[in-house]
Amino acid sequence: MTAKSAAAAARATVYGYPRQGGNRELKKAVEGYWKGRVTADALRETAADLRRSNWRKLAEAGIHEVPTGDFSYYDHMLDTSVMVGAVPPRHRAAVTADPLDGYFAMARGTQDVAPLEMTKWFDTNYHYLVPELGPDTVFTAESAQQVAEFKEAAALGHTARPVLVGPVTYLLLAKPAPGVAADFEPLTLLDRLLPVYAEVLADLRAAGATWAQLDEPALVQDRTPAELNAAARAYRDLGGLTDRPKLLVASYFDRLGEALPVLAKAPVEGLAMDFTDAAAANLDDLAAVGGLPGKRLVAGVVNGRNIWINDYEKSLATLATLLGFADRVDVAASCSLLHVPLDTAPERDIDPRILRWLAFAAQKTAEIVTLAKGLAGGTDTIAAEIAANRAALASRAASPITRDPAVRARSAAVTDADGRRSQPYTERAAAQRARLGLPLLPTTTIGSFPQTDELRAARADLRSGRIDTAGYEERIRAEIGEVISFQEKTGLDVLVHGEPERNDMVQYFAEQLTGYLATRHGWVQSYGTRYVRPPVLAGDISRPEPMTVRWTSYAQSLTDRPVKGMLTGPVTMLAWSFVRDDQPLGDTARQVALALRDEVTDLEAAGAAVIQVDEPALRETLPLRAADRPAYLDWATEAFRLTTGAVAPGTQIHTHMCYAEFGDIVQAIDDLDADVISLEAARSHMQVATELAGHGYPREAGPGVYDIHSPRVPDAREAASLLRKGLLAIPAERLWVNPDCGLKTRGWPETKASLENLVAAARTVRAEL
């Protein structure tokens, strides 16, 4: 096919769409089902309505080929485990008795059975459930859900493409099951898994699917020759099947690099590639392999992870270049639109001058359609759209909203000394022990306590004017008093105020910093039914006034025990926001760090002896390619040290991280120079404690003993067992006892019981020592 005919054939598509619905109908239905207020049939009908609505919106916008299989009640990796029959033995009875309840048990656990481990999906804030595999794993095809959803879309008249997690990525993201040797490699099960995928593909073909998408984002990471050989074998075998749809192998989040020649040679009909941040590298690599003759190329030129409008002229130039590389070029977002909010239209509170710079899922869909039209029919067919796009981009570039000379001058004046504590850790530790007087194995929590319906109602009442500020603050004081009283009675050593005034650990601060914008309806799925509203970082950052000192000081006035000041760190403030793309991330991180440094200094001046600066996104934001990591870790760790570097030796700095693979960043954790770090460890069975010990980590650490993302209550024996395991790696004088993460999403009954058991476990192990 010539470049001209490849352009004329251009179509618009997406890989996935937000699942939740305009009013988070899915969240409400699922949580209602868990509480017994919604029946299984009603939940399924809500899900079907949401799928139908998404397909209709996409088709009406001009998307030629809609995805199916991207919808999930909880997580698409968990759906894949169900599809291939990889149900852990401890969950099989529940899945057999009731597949829906068993599905949620794998995600959340029950009082008697632990859930699957959860971790971050590549370098995003989406969390997936980690498959548990071993040499005895038997795969079986369970394609009913995938086939049914494809048939739903087809029956409505849509051209549909089923989307599956590819077999190589599925195995590369899996872990050895409990009791299996730690060095077991799930990828060795590939030959056992491929026939199951063959059966699923045959079922989809029988249902009428002409194309199927297999997502292989793991191939954009550094891969060994053995892993690349496995990918080659997988797509040689799947491509060689006769009873299957055409195969589109999708990559996203980075460049394919050394995996591109493997997939280019594979007998598959199409590749999808990311041409946003990875555009230059993927273009060079396509040229190096001689293009994709005879194949379909789906070009992800619209950023599926950020919310800034597309640059049409830049994207069209990229698409024009790609026409010479493939038999057919289609237009898409760089990844699933799961990672952005639904629509800017309901955002009435954002300045219209800024709103024109933003594109959520609905707007990105329109951008994809416009670009496909321009590619197929020529730029004259979209001349008006190009002119409007050019004007919007120019208005952002010239806007004073994005620049603050005072912030830039302060940032430019930072020196290396600003990011160094005045004394080394050993001297600080002695000063902190003398000041705090804590017992061996001190107990604490991560920060937040349950956000009750009453607290949410109080915020809603304040927004609507049903109560005034004085009435709202009285409710907050009462909640803080209850949280402090409970912690004292339970016997926790270092307390928190519980954060009842905070709507979200990033949004709360963003609303008080210049340069940030808050959305009203910009919900994005983090995991399961947990949705967040990432703020928009649009301009230079500064802190007009203290943000947390008042409530922290009030809590401290209620107790003689130390109360932690609680802040969100600069890297997480960036990672869990939609960050500006018009300057280097390191520059923005420094601005946020300086604003937070002012808050840390004010907390210390108000008497805070312990200040926690959470950085759960440090690992999440780690670049997928090793070559790109040193530069990122340099500015990321510098930003943390700049935030905390001004405090006195006797002030103890904590940090917290959760639900990530920490082994890759142990040196960076060390480089933060925090006095204490708390980390998620309950689901991973204290793996991180071993990793810290292997590195020789010299400071204090609290690997979690209570999995807060499950409703189950761990008893004291279970917590004590994890503590003893932690002590095998971390000496008692440096080991803390805490949950995995904040308690915001839990209910009060389970929180109280779990923390009482946590304290009892610490006392038991203390006595043994």
216: CB partners within 8 A, 6+ apart: 166, 168, 169, 231, 249, 250, 251, 259, 263
What confidence score (pLDDT) does residue 681 get? Answer: 85
91 pLDDT higher than 70: yes
What's the mean pLDDT in 159-187?
A: 97
Q: CA-CA distance, 358 to 70, in Å (whole number)?
A: 24
Using an 8 Å Cβ cutoff, are 310 and 303 in contact?
Answer: yes
CA distance linking residue 55 with residue 282, whole number of Å: 30
Q: How confident is the model at residue 102 (pLDDT cuts 50, 70, 90)?
A: very high
CB-based burial label for 104 (10 Å; 0-12, 13-18, 19+): buried
Q: Is 127 annotated as catalytic?
A: no
Q: How far apart are CA 494 and CA 498, in angstroms?
A: 12
Distance CA 678, CA 672 (A): 13
Q: Which residue do the tokens 């020529």 mark?
A: 378
Question: In sequence order, which residues have a C-beta less than 8 Å from that of residue 80 and are 6 or more positions away?
Answer: 131, 164, 165, 170
Q: Is the pLDDT of residue 1 over 80?
A: no
The answer to whether 137 touches 188, Cβ cutoff 8 Å, is no
> Considering the chain, what percentage of its residues have pLDDT values greater than 90?
92
Rounded mean pLDDT, 604-630: 95
Q: How far is it, in rounded angstroms, from Cα 538 to Cα 313? A: 22
pTM of the model: 0.91
* Structure confidence at residue 176 as a pLDDT band (50, 70, 90): very high
Mean pLDDT, residues 131-144 taken together = 97
**CB–CB of 253/231 below 8 Å?**
no
Mean pLDDT confidence for 246-256:
97
Residue 658 has pLDDT above 90, yes or no: no
Q: Where are the beta strands (DSSP E) in 595-667?
A: 610-614, 652-657
Q: What is the pLDDT of residue 684?
A: 78
Residue 494, token pair as written in the block: 């270092």
pLDDT digits (tens, 9 = 90+) for 438-463: 999 999 999 999 988 888 888 889 88
The string of pLDDT tens digits covering residues 741-764 is 999 989 999 999 999 999 999 999
What is the predicted pLDDT for the residue at 3? 58
Region 234-253: what's the mean pLDDT?
98
Poorest-confidence range of 78-92, 361-375, 656-670?
A: 656-670
Which range, of 27-31, 358-362, 603-607, 713-717, averages the lowest pLDDT?
Answer: 713-717
Q: What H or E segment, with its residue span, contains residue 332?
A: strand 326-333
Backbone angles phi, psi at 44, to 5 degrees: -65, -35
Residue of 76, 521, 656, 709 with catalytic role: 709
The pLDDT tens digits for 714-748 are 999 999 999 999 999 999 999 999 999 999 989 99
What is the separation, in whole angstroms, between the first and last Cα of the chain?
75
CB-based contact 388:369 (threshold 8 Å): no
pLDDT grade for 660, boundaries at 50, 70 and 90 = low
Greater confidence, 464 or 52?
52
Instruction: State the pLDDT at residue 464.
Output: 87
Instruction: List pLDDT tens digits, range 555-597.
Output: 999 999 999 999 999 999 999 999 999 999 999 999 999 999 9
Beta carbons of 300 and 272 less than 8 angstroms apart: yes
